[in-house]
Structure 1
Amino acid sequence: MTPNTARHPRAYVAPLVATLLTLPMAAVTFFFVGLSPMACDSCGDAASDRFDASYDVAFPAFGFGLLVVLAVLVAAWALPWQRRYAAARVWLAVVAPAAVVLDAIVFNGLVDWP
């Protein structure tokens, strides 16, 4: 076996750390996104209508972003555990938690807050 095709003994570390960071971050973010309609409980009719219309667009976009995060995590775990895929595995592990942050930023940007 060549050095690049040999099994990497610590190939699981980057996906494991990414999973342990990403899943709690995604759960907390999902919790606060779910509570965000309460921000406009005391709004007037016009502000409430604007908020509801923007939330109806932002929430599915947030859900799609979480699916992208899940796909990145699965890809980090699914790469062959060979040395030549170590860099790609680390990059996917870094992208996963960053994608949760980006997803939250996109959600906050799409919502017309009162």
Structure 2
Amino acid sequence: MTDPIHPADLTDPAAQAVPAAQAVPAEPAAPAEPDEDRRAHVAPLVSSLLTLPLTVLSMLFASLSPMACDSCTSEAARAFDASFDLAWSVFRVGTAGVLALLVWCWALPRRRAYADRRLAIALAAPVLALLNTVVFWLLLDVA
């Protein structure tokens, strides 16, 4: 048997509250989207851990390379300076490309549809860093 509703209870807000047993259950937390890639951070992280130290070391050696021609004759020094100016400009552009690849790799959406692209860019960053260093040394004219 249910308790009859008293008219005074209709004006009391506490009496109008729904008992806990009759409360509507809260919706469960939304599950992760099925297209979300939970391991999307692995390739950019490994790429960053390889590429950044490699780029810093190559920048260090490239910036120290003018000392290779300290004992050169004046003609050899002029040839080295001309080749260094070109090589340094190419090296800076290549380094900017390496950093752009890393940013691009991290900025891709965390969806499975981008997993192959993310992996390719993550692999391209350290390869470009190595290629950048090799091109720099090949452009130098060390006699």
Verify same fold: TM over 0.5: yes
Task: Name the residue aligned to 1:54.
Answer: 83
Task: Name the residue aligned to 1:44.
Answer: 73
- For 2:137 and 2:113, the matched residues in 1 are separated by 38
Over alpha carbons, which structure has the higher Rg?
2
Provide the TM-score with structure 2 as the length reference.
Answer: 0.75
- For 1:52 and 1:19, the matched residues in 2 are separated by 32
Describe the SS at the equivalent of 1:8.
coil
- 1:83 and 2:112 correspond: yes
Provide the TM-score with structure 1 as the length reference.
Answer: 0.94
- 1:32 and 2:61 correspond: yes
> How many positions carry a matched residue from both structures?
111
Q: Which runs of 4+ in 1 moved over 4 A?
A: none
- 1:99 and 2:90 correspond: no
Unaligned ranges ≥5, structure 2: 1-33
- For 1:23 and 1:57, the matched residues in 2 are separated by 23
- 1:8 and 2:8 correspond: no
- For 1:33 and 1:72, the matched residues in 2 are separated by 21
2:51 to 22, 28, 39: 22
**Greater per-residue helix proportion:** 1
Q: What CA RMSD, in Å, does the superposition of the two structures yield over aligned residues?
A: 1.2
1:71 to 94, 97, 100: 100
- For 2:69 and 2:129, the matched residues in 1 are separated by 24
- For 1:28 and 1:102, the matched residues in 2 are separated by 14
